[in-house]
Amino acid sequence: MLVTTTDMLKSAQTNHYAVGAFNVENLEFVMAVVKAAEEKRAPVIMQTTPGTLKYASMEYFYGMVRAAAENASVPVALHLDHGSSFDLCMQAMHAGYTSVMIDGSHDPFEENIAKTEAVARVGAAMGIPVEAELGKVGGKEDDGPDSGQGNPFTDPDEAEEFVWRTGCTSLAIGVGTAHGVYHGTPHIEQDIVKAIAARVDVPLVLHGTSGVPDEQVREAIANGICKVNYATELRQVYTRGFMGYMAENPECFDPKKPATAGMAQITKLVGDHMENLGCAGRA
């Protein structure tokens, strides 16, 4: 069924594992991700960025994910990733999304607080969890400008004040990861994860995880990360599967065939991540 992320993340926090959050781009991504969740008996979060919502509306994604969730035997949540404004978050709640993120991380501290607090207040009234971000995840997020890699990290003191003042229900932190494709090996600042987890009681979220070595992700989970986002890798393997099929079958004009090859790649990738995150077998 379609559920909020509240119980999923609480259980992850209590039992020291993380729930995977996978960005979906179309129907095929939705079907491939939910298949992996069923195979691995894992709770799962599917999410869309504002950029993806320019391609197809919230109503489409809500319809597709709800259909997937109603037929699934594991809990499924639909989350707005990097909600860019109060209005967009309200639209997502209205459309049936069961979780939203308001991303004020590009704004000054006080503005981020004001923006987040406004969304969190509505979320609390409606029973919809609200993720916020403090500090910076590097790289190119969605279709915005590239903020580079190696950005300022989240300050644990600020994180404590931020959560207390905003009422956000989970927090994305800047600890060295970046969106998009890494140039070189990424490095998670584990001491910062630990320091923030010691100061705030809400589940912590890791963005920009595509390409981060599995051991580093597991260590970050042991240190307090409860939700781990993957977007770039899904796009890469889907396109690789699709193109691979077409290279071998250049005469094919049935889009279902290369799409099926792409979906198989996503299901494998997502299933492997679920094992590494520790959420496999938790549903």
Chain residues binding Zn ion by CB under 5 A are 207
CB of 229 to Zn ion, least distance (A): 5
Please say if 103 is a catalytic residue: no
Nearer to Zn ion, 74 or 134 (CB): 134
Per the CB < 8 A criterion, the answer to whether 142 and 50 are in contact is yes
Nearer to Zn ion, 136 or 207 (CB): 207
CB of 82 to Zn ion, least distance (A): 6
CB of 250 to Zn ion, least distance (A): 36
CB of 46 to Zn ion, least distance (A): 14
CB of 52 to Zn ion, least distance (A): 12
Nearer to Zn ion, 51 or 244 (CB): 51
* 3: number of Cβ within 10 Å: 17
Query: 27-40 vs 58-70: helix axis angle to the nearest 10?
Result: 30
Nearer to Zn ion, 174 or 258 (CB): 174
Which residues fall within 8 angstroms of residue 230, CB to CB, at 6 or more apart? 20, 21, 22, 23, 209, 210, 270, 273
Number of helices (H), then strands (E), in the chain: 11, 10
Which residues fall within 8 angstroms of residue 187, CB to CB, at 6 or more apart? 176, 216
- For Zn ion, the nearest residue by Cβ is 207
Nearer to Zn ion, 81 or 117 (CB): 81
Task: Tell me the backbone φ, ψ of residue 57, rounded to 5 degrees.
Answer: -75, 170
Residue 61 structure tokens? 């994604």
**Among the options 81, 103, 142, 155, which is catalytic?**
81
CA distance from start to end of the chain: 12
Distance CA 183, CA 176 (A): 13
Indicate which residues carry an active-site annotation: 81
